[in-house]
Chain A
Amino acid sequence: MEAMASDEELAGRVARGDEVAVEELVGRYSRALAHLIERHTGGRDVEDIYQETWIRALGAIDGFDLQRKFSSWIFRIAVNLCRDSHRRRAARPQATEDSALVGRGIDQAAALDAASLLARLPVEQREAIVLRYYHDLPESEMAEVMGVARGTVKSRLHTALGKLAVLAQDDRDGDKVK
């Protein structure tokens, strides 16, 4: 039986235009990327960012260092595009905060609870929470994806956890008062 090619081997084949390798790579990362983008952006422009991530990755694949981890590289592209999307949104008038969640056929009360709390965190702190707890990335890989030092990742993570706990407690106390 043929051994499964590593992501990095597939990336090398993608650079030569190998369609089978691209399909394999997209299949491996499809779910993780979609979930990362969904949580990072709060569900806005997910499809556009997802498409753009792969298009950019393919365009830049010649510059991909085969000694590096493909997962960190593709996540970094997605995270940068999510940040751009946040910046663009910040520059234009804001629609209803959680409008992206409306009408998506999911448990909206529960989703709003977690998603609205995450949405109240600064982008870089939300990013840290998503990468660490939903994608289980180690701090070294998070540092690579986020483009910061490992110490910064640690501090962002702990600040985010503290803030999230305070926000959650406030929400809980608010519910009790009502």
Chain B
Amino acid sequence: MNDRTPNEQELRRRLQRDLGEAGASAKVDADLLARILVASPIAVDDAGMARRALGGMRPELARRRSADLHRQVLVRVMLAVVPLPFVVAYAVYVLRALYVPVAALLTPDLAAYVAVVHIMLLTLLFGVTYAAIPMMLSRSGNAGHPPAAA
């Protein structure tokens, strides 16, 4: 694809190429046509039109970015959830293993308190880990986009 206006020579060459392919029966003066076609200056503000077109496309682009982010978050969260049962099972196993010596050293109330705090910390850790997925995706997604024009 060519996006500049051809000069007369180029036009003549293109015309001769096509007229040659058409055979001698085509009684067309390539020089005359080239002169006519080249005398067609274009005065459009394509840069201004491009700017305005980009402005018109921004809402749709934002919608697409948001839809893409949601799709990615869903996929990543689903993938991250897959090993969760094993992690929870292991955490429960470790907790039970630790609870026996802790219960032997501390009073039952204090041992239960330590266990509950441990469970809460693990829950908080999992929560923060999963919440970080959309935040990190959102940040990496925004890195490639210039801020919207005021």
The interface of chain A, by Cβ under 8 A from chain B, is: 14-20, 22-23, 26-27, 29-35, 38-39, 46-47, 50-51, 54-55, 58-59, 71, 75, 104-107, 110-111, 113-115, 117-118, 129, 132-137, 157-158, 161-162, 164-165, 168-169, 172
Contacts and interface: CB of A to CB of B under 8 A. Distances in A.
Contact of B65 (A17, A35, A46, A47): A17
A27 B39 contact: no
12 contacts: A17-B61, A19-B145, A30-B47, A31-B4, A39-B40, A55-B60, A71-B1, A107-B41, A133-B15, A136-B2, A168-B29, A172-B32
A31 B58 CA distance: 20
Interface stretch (B18-26, B97-105, B107-115, B125-133): B18-26
A38 B54 contact: no
Given A132-B14, A157-B18, A164 B36 contact: yes
A19 to B, nearest CB: 5
B118 interface: no
Contacts of A133: 6, 11, 14-15, 37
Given A17-B64, A161-B28, A135 B1 contact: yes
Contacts of A35: 3, 5, 42, 44, 46
> Which secondary structure characterizes the binding site on chain B?
helix
B139 interface: no
9 shortest interchain CB distances as A-B pairs: A17-B64, A17-B65, A114-B40, A32-B3, A34-B46, A110-B39, A30-B50, A136-B2, A165-B28
Given A26-B53, A58-B57, A133-B15, A162 B26 contact: yes
A20 B33 contact: no
Contacts of B61: 14, 17-19, 22, 58
A54 B40 contact: no
Contact of A161 (B33, B67, B68): B33
Interface residues of B, number: 49
Nearest to A164: B33
B36 to A, nearest CB: 5
Contact of A165 (B29, B46, B50, B67): B29
| Residue among B29, B44, B47 with max Cβ neighbours from chain A (10 Å) | B44
A58 B60 contact: yes
Contact of A105 (B27, B43, B62, B146): B43
Given A38-B42, A50-B49, A161 B18 contact: yes
| Residue among B6, B19, B54, B58 with max Cβ neighbours from chain A (10 Å) | B54
Nearest to B29: A165
A132 B2 CA distance: 10
A96 to B, nearest CB: 19
Nearest to B3: A32
Contacts of A168: 29, 32-33, 36
